A and B are shown apart, each in its own frame.
Chain A
Amino acid sequence: MKNYLNKITKTLLTMIIVMGTNSCSDSFLEETDRYSIDSETFFNSEDDYYKALIGAYDMLQSTYVNVMLGEIASDNTLCGGESATDVIGFQQIDDMIHSPVNSNLKDIWNWMFAGVNRANFILEFQDKTDFDGKEIIIGEARFLRAYYYFELVKWFGPVPLKETRFSLGDETIIPRSPVADVYSLIEQDLLYAINNLSYVAPQTGRATKGSAQALLGKAYLYQDKFSDAAAVLESLIQNGPYDLVSDYDTIFETEGENGEESVFEVQYTDAEGAGFGCLQCSEGNVAVGFNGIRNYSGPTFDSGFSFNVPTQEVVDEFENGDIRKDVAILDIDAWSASNGATFGTGYEHTGYYNRKYIARQGDLNTGDQNLTNPNNYRAIRFADVLLMAAEALNRGSIDDTRALIYLNRVRTRAQLDDVTNTGANLTNDIAHERRVELVGEGHRFFDLVRTGKGSEIDGFSSNKNELFPIPIEEIQFANGNWSQNPGY
């Protein structure tokens, strides 16, 4: 027995000594067993660049809120929702009483800068590893940076510029660049993309030369650079592979996704969702569920949260016989009467829904019924390009004849008679056409503001509401480096 105990003792002592020498060396702290990918040691292969590019595209999905608010802020729709305080930030913008305290505006600021940073992550390391076709990835990254910066300049005006990732402290050093400088970077990025991308994307959903041309044309138009806009847009019309889809109704259905009218389209899917805690994480189009019919039960459509409901005014804007009206606007009373559907009424119920972007039946809606709708956002349609070209030619006094041709192409598809006006009357016709052609697609507020008609919106204060306020936190982070937009 004693012998046995001695043996145990010796064994234990040996164990302790062995463990002691092993454990106490510094290497004990170094040998940890864990994953070790690092952002600064990345970009070692073509695949690394491609993977980072997917990351830069990912943020496009968060622009659902830009699209919704582009309508809600305008005279096209009301906020809606469940109650006056359902999403207070939306409601304030609808009523034009928004202030620097607005979590939804903060989302736009945050998410668009996140997009800029993901594009800049690639561009910061663009010289690290070479491979064939790198200019395509760089071209797309620069297109995306331009896309995000264009959103930022539309919403907030002057914003800080950087061509590599922002780092902590930049907010106190880098000034808000003037709008002209922001556009200058957007233009340079898009010109690079135009020169390096082709009209056919390597994969559906990726930006093309045409996407870059259309966005550049739009950027020029927003600056009233009419001849530049006309040039790039007409080049796109003549050389690009795009055309109007003959049946307007199909554009917004699943079969119409990535069609020949789609110059750039934000891709969504019903295969992977997210929760309310991270709406920007959803791979689905969150706006579609938010726009959806409240507590709907019936054919064709799925239920949603009844935001972004069209006003009677925009419904009345459609000319008689315009086939687009029934595609863009759902008259829910008429629909339920003829289809036996039931629905609930939300706040500010107008009886109309934004039919282009409300939930359809038959989707998987993985993760969350309302947050994972697969409807792609048709960000730039060829109809938009034609109307922008017409506007540039007309407002730049370049050629009303060609402007009429482009405008009437759009009207013909809508089964409307040709317009023959010129000059200022034609300008008004084009503006009217943009409103009804693009209703529900998030353009209206900015079209009004850039043409000096913001005051047509109820509650709009001129020299203030053209821009949205910088989130109050950002002003504080900048510690005096950035000042608030006028009027806020």
Chain B
Amino acid sequence: MRHTLFKILTVFFVTYASAQNIEINGTVIDQFNMPIPGVNVIVKNTTNGVASDFDGNFLITDVTTGSTLVFSYLGYITQEVIVNDNSKLNITLVEDVSQLEQVVVIGYGTQKKKDITGAVSIVSAETLEALKPIDAAQALQGTSAGVSVTSPSGSPGGGFNILVRGVSSNGNNGPLIIIDGYEGDLNSINPSDIETFSILKDAQAAIYGIKGANGVVLVTTKSGRKNSPTKISFDTYAGIQETTRKLPYLNATEYALLINESYAANGNPLPYPNVSGLGIGTDWQDEVFDTAPITNHNVTITGGGEKVTYYVGGSILEQDGIVAKEKSNFRRSNFKLKLGIDLSDKFKFTVGANYFNTKRKTINENGLGSVLFNALNYSPLFNTDQEDLLGLLGNEVINPLSQIQNTFNNYKGNAIEGNFQLEYKPIEDLTITSRIGIKSYNDKGKSFAPIVNYGSGKVFNTDRSSVFQFRNTNNSYTWETFANYDKVFLKNHHATITIGTSAQRVWGDNLSATGFDVPNNSWEFADISLANGLSDAKSNSSYIYDNRLTSYFGRIQYDFKGKYLLSAMIRRDGASDFAPENRTDYFSSATAGWKISDESFLEDSKVISFLKLRGSYGTLGNNAGGDLYRALLSGEATYVFDGALVSGVATGRIPTPNSVWEEAEKFDIGLDISLFDNLIDITADYFIEDRNRLLISNLPVSGILGATAPGAGLPTANAGTTRNKGFELLINYKKYFSDDFKLGVAYNFTTIDGDVTEVKDDIISRGGAFGVGQLAPSRMEVGQPIGYFYGLKTDGIFQNQAEVNAHPSQQELGSSAAPGDFRYVDINGDGVINFDDRTYLGKPQPDYIMGLNLSLNYKNFDFSTYVYAELGKETVRNYERDQSNVNRLNLYLNRWTGEGTSNTVPRTTIGGTTNKLFSDFYVEDSSFLRMQNIQLGYSLSEATLEKLNISKLRLYVSVNNPFTLTKYTGYDPAATSGAAIGGGIDYGFYPISKQFIFGLNLSL
């Protein structure tokens, strides 16, 4: 700093002394139209130069026409302008896309990108602005290598799951989210308030110890800048949404013909002897899908004085669902404040606060009985107001429109979260930081089940109305104090030492109750205060929790001439929810880097402008499995004595006295390369992660232990190891051709190969569900990916009785085979087909993940697009109810109807077959490529802006999810419940919406 000042003063002096030629003045601004103070403005190949002032203004004299002015500023692309007669120059500096100088948050400290020795992904505000995510997590989808984001639902407020480098654990796989130093959740913050994400993917996250194993997402929110005028920005958009997909189902005539055939095949009379005039009937998907609005308004006020910076933001997002918009919608309001105050030269104080409020209504989703499941299975012969009174469609399938009408619920949440931070700089190189992050989240919900009759025998009929209400409080604080000592010694040696301590408490409680007999059977009166019906059974419940963590940590970072980089870190954590003798542990890691491009042999390379080799190795923890050591009396013990319910006591889940958290052992080796003067940046990583002491929940144990009693449970124990290895590649190309034309391309590619490498006693964990009453389709087993699909393998269709006779008997599966049925493969070769012949059918996790982003600026137009792809994964088609009279996918039009007609789709019959058993017929390739966003914007020219006296006005149109390329027949190939065992099973996922958006960005 002192050096720069000196330079500026020298330049001033020199300039002043020789002032003669023409004078040029102007303003330097950034791409957000914010003035940049302190920009160096130098006449090329001279010492003539000035710096811009606080308002970005500069005045440079003694410039000869035809010479070149160079504008440079740390972190921005240097710009050269040839001087003509124009004495007025307005310059927009663009942030340096090579990002080498970018300061990256790495946890209890920062580092320049070029000095980083760990694997870190960075996603900046630019991406958030382009993608306009509803939930901040969406901004990570397809934009950073090694990170995947999945959603269990496209419904408003549906939530997202983030995975860093795949699924390692069969329990919690979500990364640690740190927002400005406090532990939070991405869904509570307004995405527009986010400045950057840094995602720590490797052992460098060991500084977060017991919580670092699933990766760490560090979120830095926006702040004001010192000495900048107040800037008010208003961003708004509105759009309409529609479903991305409708499934090809049979119309009324096709349906009736198929049902007739299936009755005839079993020798029964035809249910629809006259199909003429049935037409196409009711298209239930058209009936339940709707177009729905989405709007978002966002206001920010930011600026700063000499000692104070401020950022104030407010936003309201409203989204209606594309299914049942009255009953499926979401609203989120945020209010954000961030203040930075220099109390003195030595003390800096920062306060950040985020208030958020959500409201959400939901419909039954992704299950047997969900609205879409019913829309797919309900008969096209029924009118829109017609109930299945006779139970033609079995016990579960009901009229989806009636179901929507009878769905009543709401959910409201309020949170206040934030942090107070004090930075103390007692001496030049030492900074002591202490901060308290808090979060208090309170929510409540209500759901009303009216008296309703969907037809005889329907399991969703209700004889007695009830209203369920709950309230939760969730609180946490994290208090941390740490010191950073940063020193250059003996000229070439640079070291940063960090030591610190942290204490965290997470606690809360719940209270819930059910009231019966709601007056007038009406939502209007649905409240426990009015529902006065009594119940013999206990109708209320509560729980409390309180988990604490104390930690000490230290890190040393060292480099020699900035060329050879080393760091080592250690953290000791103690967690209250483990047995006292098992509750503390140490986590540590080391990283190293070598800037090869600083070596003499590369110094003058025209091609390679930057090359760094780096590696890391260490251990981290996944704080799961708390309280497993306790033998609680949480079992359910309810029986009937004297004709009334009595409640007793029984043991709960089987305890695991020695349980501890999972440990991740991470290895990463990477290269950071910049080519052609930082035109192209490449980051490549190869990683291996072993998740040791894997906590296997619901670990199957012998039934003699009694774990299946009500309220009891299978134990969770450290009983396995998984290994994920993979390769990540990120290529960035950004070219600033001129003020009028800029181009950027970013591509990322990730491969993940995950396997279970060890399970105690080779025990197999099962999960998920297929159909009704079938064996669990998902498994975790040694040598296979977590949660792979396990079922029967088909080998075509029996074309005639001779083929049936020639094949081992399939009788043990429940019914003997006939021509037109699947021929299952005798996997174990024992001459009989039974459930021992099940085998690997696919897996829900992709082999390859890719993202592509293209951005283009031409004059006042900007264009960007984001593409995301997942390849090499499967999804289970489980939205077809196995019942004689339900509607079907149109693929059954190509069913087997006689010898040679089909070798893929079996015959239809109401008689007994084994064709509905879980087999590869129901497992589909769900690889996909999705165009996530296309956006075109137009910004008003500076001349016009000046006339209007505003600093920015941009209008844009955007389409989200315009198309998805996939072979998958279901609604959303990208959707998964996120469960490690049981994920990727599709009951008719609420599809993601296609959104047509018009928006405006205005800055004053």
Tell me, yes or no, whether A16 is within 8 Å of chain B by CB. yes
Tell me, yes or no, whether A188 is within 8 Å of chain B by CB. no
Whether the Cβ atoms of A38 and B703 lie closer than 8 Å is: no
One of A39, A113, A278 near B631 (C-beta < 8 A):
A39
One of B344, B420, B503, B576 near A30 (C-beta < 8 A):
B576
B707: A residues at CB distance < 8 A? 110, 114
B306: A residues at CB distance < 8 A? none
Whether the Cβ atoms of A24 and B501 lie closer than 8 Å is: yes
Tell me, yes or no, whether A117 is within 8 Å of chain B by CB. yes
Whether the Cβ atoms of A33 and B544 lie closer than 8 Å is: yes
Mark B783-823 against chain A: 1 for CB-CB distance below 8 A, else 0.
Answer: 00000000000000000000000000001111100000000
The tally of CB-CB contacts under 8 A between chains A and B is 323
Q: With A and B bound together, what is the CA distance between A177 and B545 in angstroms? A: 44
One of A37, A82, A364 near B633 (C-beta < 8 A):
A37
Tell me, yes or no, whether B536 is within 8 Å of chain A by CB. yes
Q: With A and B bound together, what is the CA distance between A34 and B545 in angstroms? A: 6
Q: With A and B bound together, what is the CA distance between A26 and B575 in angstroms? A: 10
Tell me, yes or no, whether B389 is within 8 Å of chain A by CB. yes
Q: With A and B bound together, what is the CA distance between A12 and B391 in angstroms? A: 69
Tell me, yes or no, whether B940 is within 8 Å of chain A by CB. no
Whether the Cβ atoms of A370 and B912 lie closer than 8 Å is: no
Whether the Cβ atoms of A295 and B390 lie closer than 8 Å is: yes
Whether the Cβ atoms of B640 and A268 lie closer than 8 Å is: yes
A206: B residues at CB distance < 8 A? 641
Residue of A whose beta carbon sits closest to that of B577: A32
Q: With A and B bound together, what is the CA distance between A99 and B548 in angstroms? A: 49
Instruction: Tell me whether A29 and B576 are in contact in the complex, defined as CB-CB below 8 angstroms, given that A16-B434, A23-B550 are known contacts.
Output: yes
Whether the Cβ atoms of A267 and B774 lie closer than 8 Å is: no
Q: With A and B bound together, what is the CA distance between A92 and B771 in angstroms? A: 18
CB distance from B502 to the nearest CB of A (A): 9
One of B458, B544, B547, B774 near A85 (C-beta < 8 A):
B774
Tell me, yes or no, whether A430 is within 8 Å of chain B by CB. no
Whether the Cβ atoms of A61 and B650 lie closer than 8 Å is: no
Whether the Cβ atoms of A29 and B639 lie closer than 8 Å is: no
Residue of B whose beta carbon sits closest to that of A477: B702
Whether the Cβ atoms of A101 and B637 lie closer than 8 Å is: no
A471: B residues at CB distance < 8 A? 703
Tell me, yes or no, whether B761 is within 8 Å of chain A by CB. yes
Whether the Cβ atoms of B464 and A272 lie closer than 8 Å is: no
Tell me, yes or no, whether B445 is within 8 Å of chain A by CB. no
Q: With A and B bound together, what is the CA distance between A283 and B715 in angstroms? A: 25
Q: With A and B bound together, what is the CA distance between A326 and B209 in angstroms? A: 71
B391: A residues at CB distance < 8 A? 294-295, 297, 303, 344
Whether the Cβ atoms of A114 and B390 lie closer than 8 Å is: no
One of B705, B812, B917 near A99 (C-beta < 8 A):
B812
**CB within 8 Å of A: which B674-724 residues:** 700-712, 715
B704: A residues at CB distance < 8 A? 113, 116-117, 160, 166, 170-171, 474
B650: A residues at CB distance < 8 A? 52, 55, 58, 118, 121
Whether the Cβ atoms of A54 and B546 lie closer than 8 Å is: no
Residue of A35, A40, A60, A115 contacting most chain B CB atoms (<10 Å):
A35
Q: With A and B bound together, what is the CA distance between A205 and B630 in angstroms? A: 33
CB distance from A291 to the nearest CB of B (A): 13
Residue of B536, B651, B654 contacting most chain A CB atoms (<10 Å):
B651
CB distance from B305 to the nearest CB of A (A): 13
Residue of A whose beta carbon sits closest to that of B815: A84
Instruction: Tell me whether A51 and B546 are in contact in the complex, defined as CB-CB below 8 angstroms, given that A23-B503, A58-B638 are known contacts.
Output: no
Tell me, yes or no, whether A327 is within 8 Å of chain B by CB. no
A34: B residues at CB distance < 8 A? 544-546
Instruction: Tell me whether A281 and B347 are in contact in the complex, defined as CB-CB below 8 angstroms, given that A58-B638, A205-B642 are known contacts.
Output: no
Instruction: Tell me whether A116 and B638 are in contact in the complex, defined as CB-CB below 8 angstroms, given that A33-B544, A37-B632 are known contacts.
Output: no
Instruction: Tell me whether A295 and B457 are in contact in the complex, defined as CB-CB below 8 angstroms, given that A97-B811, A99-B835 are known contacts.
Output: yes
CB distance from B285 to the nearest CB of A (A): 25
Q: With A and B bound together, what is the CA distance between A448 and B400 in angstroms? A: 48
Whether the Cβ atoms of A283 and B641 lie closer than 8 Å is: no
**CB within 8 Å of A: which B100-119 residues:** none
B642: A residues at CB distance < 8 A? 203-205
Tell me, yes or no, whether A226 is within 8 Å of chain B by CB. no
CB distance from A354 to the nearest CB of B (A): 17
A39: B residues at CB distance < 8 A? 631-633, 651-652
B911: A residues at CB distance < 8 A? 84
Whether the Cβ atoms of B701 and A116 lie closer than 8 Å is: no
Q: With A and B bound together, what is the CA distance between A100 and B629 in angstroms? A: 33
One of A5, A8, A55 near B649 (C-beta < 8 A):
A55
Whether the Cβ atoms of A109 and B703 lie closer than 8 Å is: yes
A368: B residues at CB distance < 8 A? 459
One of A58, A101, A160, A342 near B648 (C-beta < 8 A):
A58
Tell me, yes or no, whether A365 is within 8 Å of chain B by CB. yes
Q: With A and B bound together, what is the CA distance between A197 and B771 in angstroms? A: 48
Q: How many residues of B contact A (CB 8 A)?
A: 106
B738: A residues at CB distance < 8 A? none
Residue of A whose beta carbon sits closest to that of B549: A29
Whether the Cβ atoms of A85 and B836 lie closer than 8 Å is: no
A116: B residues at CB distance < 8 A? 704, 706
Q: With A and B bound together, what is the CA distance between A178 and B374 in angstroms? A: 52
A271: B residues at CB distance < 8 A? 535-537, 645
Whether the Cβ atoms of B649 and A48 lie closer than 8 Å is: yes
Tell me, yes or no, whether B303 is within 8 Å of chain A by CB. no
CB distance from A286 to the nearest CB of B (A): 12
Q: With A and B bound together, what is the CA distance between A95 and B809 in angstroms? A: 14
Whether the Cβ atoms of B456 and A16 lie closer than 8 Å is: no
CB distance from B657 to the nearest CB of A (A): 10
CB distance from A84 to the nearest CB of B (A): 3
B883: A residues at CB distance < 8 A? 82-83
Q: With A and B bound together, what is the CA distance between A105 and B773 in angstroms? A: 13
Whether the Cβ atoms of B461 and A281 lie closer than 8 Å is: no
Tell me, yes or no, whether B646 is within 8 Å of chain A by CB. yes
Whether the Cβ atoms of A38 and B712 lie closer than 8 Å is: no
Mark B905-931 against chain A: 1 for CB-CB distance below 8 A, else 0.
Answer: 000000111101100000000000000
B580: A residues at CB distance < 8 A? 30
B956: A residues at CB distance < 8 A? none
Tell me, yes or no, whether B647 is within 8 Å of chain A by CB. yes
Q: With A and B bound together, what is the CA distance between A477 and B631 in angstroms? A: 22
Residue of B whose beta carbon sits closest to that of A298: B456
Tell me, yes or no, whether A366 is within 8 Å of chain B by CB. yes
Whether the Cβ atoms of A267 and B640 lie closer than 8 Å is: yes
Whether the Cβ atoms of A9 and B347 lie closer than 8 Å is: yes
CB distance from A454 to the nearest CB of B (A): 20
Residue of B341, B631, B648, B916 contacting most chain A CB atoms (<10 Å):
B648
Tell me, yes or no, whether A239 is within 8 Å of chain B by CB. no
Q: With A and B bound together, what is the CA distance between A34 and B651 in angstroms? A: 18
CB distance from A68 to the nearest CB of B (A): 13
Whether the Cβ atoms of A283 and B638 lie closer than 8 Å is: yes
Residue of A whose beta carbon sits closest to that of B466: A366
One of A89, A170, A205, A296 near B640 (C-beta < 8 A):
A205
Tell me, yes or no, whether A227 is within 8 Å of chain B by CB. no
Residue of B535, B703, B811 contacting most chain A CB atoms (<10 Å):
B703
**CB within 8 Å of B: which A197-218 residues:** 203-206
- Given A166-B702, A272-B645, A294-B457, 9 extra CB contacts under 8 A: A23-B503, A84-B814, A85-B773, A113-B704, A204-B642, A205-B639, A205-B641, A268-B640, A281-B711
A-B contact pairs, 27 of them (CB 8 A): A8-B343, A8-B349, A12-B422, A20-B481, A26-B574, A33-B546, A39-B632, A40-B631, A55-B650, A58-B650, A58-B709, A61-B639, A85-B813, A166-B702, A168-B715, A203-B641, A205-B642, A269-B645, A271-B536, A272-B537, A280-B710, A283-B639, A294-B391, A295-B392, A295-B395, A364-B463, A474-B703
Partner-A contacts on B (CB < 8 A) = 341, 343-344, 347, 349, 389-392, 394-395, 420, 422, 434, 436, 455-459, 461, 463-464, 479, 481, 501, 503, 505, 507, 535-538, 544-548, 550, 574-577, 580, 583, 630-633, 635-652, 654, 700-712, 715, 761, 763, 771-775, 811-815, 834-836, 882-884, 911-914, 916-917
Q: Which 5 A-B pairs have the closest CB atoms?
A: A295-B391, A54-B648, A84-B912, A303-B457, A55-B637
